[in-house]
Amino acid sequence: MTRSSKSADLAGLFAALADHTRLRLLNLIGGREVCVCYFVEILRQGQPKISRHLAYLRRAGLVAARREGKWMHYRMVPPADAGRPRKARSRLLRAAEAGDAGRCAATSSGTLPG
């Protein structure tokens, strides 16, 4: 990797972290996988706005997404894995896929995780 591409990657990282909403999203994700419906409920903001910010974080390599039915679930990407494709899925993803696809646990059960 050249010096200019490293600078561009670093600039992209800082740009992703420069927004208050994106920092709040990262804080809410913490060390777990979270559904977009959870962010909508907690932040009281529209789903399109939250999804736009999460897409920005994905492009910066800070979070990864997984679709379950019509819901998207996000988790933080460990720094060692950032920028490199993942060959094996984590135990968390395999466990989540074994659950009930197509419904959001946060909205269907009436309780929010965490």
- Give residue 36's pLDDT: 93
Could you report the per-residue pLDDT of 70-81, keeping only the tens digit for each?
889 999 997 654
Amino acid at 112: L
Integer angstrom CA distances of residue 34 from 3, 8, 11, 57, 105: 35, 29, 26, 14, 10
- Domain positions in the chain are 3-108
What are the two backbone dihedrals, phi and then psi, of residue 97, each rounded to the nearest 5 degrees? -70, -25
Residue 39 CA from chain centroid, whole number: 10
Question: Is the pLDDT score of 20 beyond 80?
Answer: yes
> Is the whole model's pTM more than 0.85, yes or no?
no
What is the domain class of 3-108 according to CATH? mainly alpha
The residue behind tokens 């932040």 is 43
Could you report the per-residue pLDDT of 26-49, keeping only the tens digit for each?
999 988 999 999 999 999 999 999
Strands 63-68 and 34-35 turn out to be unpaired
Residues 6+ apart with CB under 8 A from 51: 36, 72
